[in-house]
């Protein structure tokens, strides 16, 4: 059997697709042939243009605030109304709050956990119910982090959420693999995105981070696209429950 990375005829949902890693993943999936529903709070104009330029699949923008569960069912229903199907879910949307653990507030804890973990679970649940109800196969890709493996500093709720997401990925894989749903995660290393701007602008932290990355540079969002296409494509049909680091070699050092 030929190895296939072709996503023609598939429909993907990518949350947090307006910029950064989400935008790059959406463009990569579209370039592989998928139609992509772009989900987020802000304008998707830049991603829509990038998808159109990449060729391949089309895009649809769905406005949704994932800090609550209100949009969960709507994201699935609007996607299915668009193409008649939903095959791939990429849970990329996430937020971060920075403060010393001794000073961290309940509001910052709850805000991060709601977006990064709670909504991810319930959106995955709604997606799986749709697939199981129709007897169809599908792929879920969670965007974890190096903080799924390490502690970090000054980001207690982010570390907790991403560690929890790794565990959730494994649990859902165990429950849903036999139902035809692959659940896996990607753990990005240090990429040039809005979330890391503060680190890149701090000369000492920037130098310390670069000094540990064997590849010698911050990742560019486009460098994450191949891993997402692999986990979304038929090539990974027997891959379940992994957390795949894409980190320039960070964890190897």
* Residue 250 resides in a domain: no
State the catalytic residue, choosing from 121, 127, 158, 190: 158
In sequence order, which residues have a C-beta less than 8 Å from that of residue 213 and are 6 or more positions away?
189, 190, 247, 248, 249, 250, 253
Kindly indicate the confidence band of residue 1, based on its pLDDT and cuts at 50, 70 and 90: low
Question: What total number of domains does the chain contain?
Answer: 1
Does residue 251 belong to any structural domain of this protein? no
| Tokens (6 digits) for 72 | 């969960």
Nearest to 12 by CA among 44, 43, 57, 45: 57
Residue 3 domain-assigned (yes or no) = no
The whole-number pLDDT of residue 160 equals: 98
Residue 94: strand, helix, or coil = coil
Residue 251 has pLDDT above 70, yes or no: yes
Q: Please list the residues that pair with 181 across neighbouring strands.
A: 138
**Residues spanned by the domain of 209:** 11-245
Does residue 28 fall inside a structural domain?
Answer: yes
CATH classification of the domain holding 164: 3.40.50.720
At 198 the pLDDT is 87
Q: Name the 3-class secondary structure at 40.
A: strand
- Work out the burial of residue 14: count CB atoms within 10 Å of its CB; fewer than 13 is exposed, 13-18 middle, 19 or more buried: buried
Determine, yes or no, domain membership for 83: yes
pLDDT digits (tens, 9 = 90+) for 95-121: 999 999 999 999 999 999 999 999 999
Q: Is residue 1 part of a domain?
A: no
Q: Tokens 């949350």 correspond to what residue? A: 15
Average pLDDT taken over every residue of the chain: 97
Distance CA 246, CA 253 (A): 14
User: For the whole model, what pTM was predicted?
Assistant: 0.97
Q: Is 57 inside a domain boundary?
A: yes
Helix axes 45-54, 20-31, angle to 10 degrees: 30
Q: Annotated catalytic, 238?
A: no
**Helices and strands in the chain: count of H runs, count of E runs:** 9, 7
Q: Flag whether 133 is in a domain.
A: yes
- Summarize the confidence of residues 155-168 as an average pLDDT: 98
Instruction: Read off the pLDDT of residues 182-210 as tens digits, 9 standing for 90 and up.
Output: 999 999 999 999 889 988 999 999 999 99
């Amino acid at each position: 059997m030929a190895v296939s990375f072709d996503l023609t005829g598939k429909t993907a949902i990518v949350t947090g697709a307006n910029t950064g890693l989400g935008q790059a993943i959406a463009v990569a999936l579209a370039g592989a042939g998928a139609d992509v529903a772009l989900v987020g709070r802000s304008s998707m104009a830049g991603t829509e243009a990038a998808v159109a330029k990449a060729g391949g699949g089309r895009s649809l923008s769905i406005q949704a605030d994932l800090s609550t569960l209100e949009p969960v069912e709507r994201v699935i229903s609007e996607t299915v109304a668009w193409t008649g199907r939903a095959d791939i879910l990429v849970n990329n949307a996430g937020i971060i709050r920075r403060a010393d653990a001794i000073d961290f507030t309940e509001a910052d804890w709850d805000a991060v956990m709601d977006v990064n973990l709670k909504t991810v679970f319930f959106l995955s649940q709604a997606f799986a119910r749709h697939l199981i109800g129709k007897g169809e196969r599908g792929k879920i890709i969670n965007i974890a982090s190096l903080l799924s493996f390490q502690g970090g500093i000054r980001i207690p709720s982010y570390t907790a959420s991403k560690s929890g997401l790794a565990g959730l990925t494994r649990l859902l894989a165990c429950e849903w693999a036999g139902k035809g749903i692959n659940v896996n995660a990607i753990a990005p290393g240090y990429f040039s995105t809005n979330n890391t701007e503060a680190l890149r602008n701090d000369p000492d932290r920037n130098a310390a981070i670069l000094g540990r990355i064997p590849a010698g540079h911050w990742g560019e969002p486009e460098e994450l696209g191949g891993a997402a296409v692999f986990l979304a494509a038929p090539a990974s049909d027997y891959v379940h429950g992994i957390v795949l680091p894409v980190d320039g070699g960070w964890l190897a050092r």
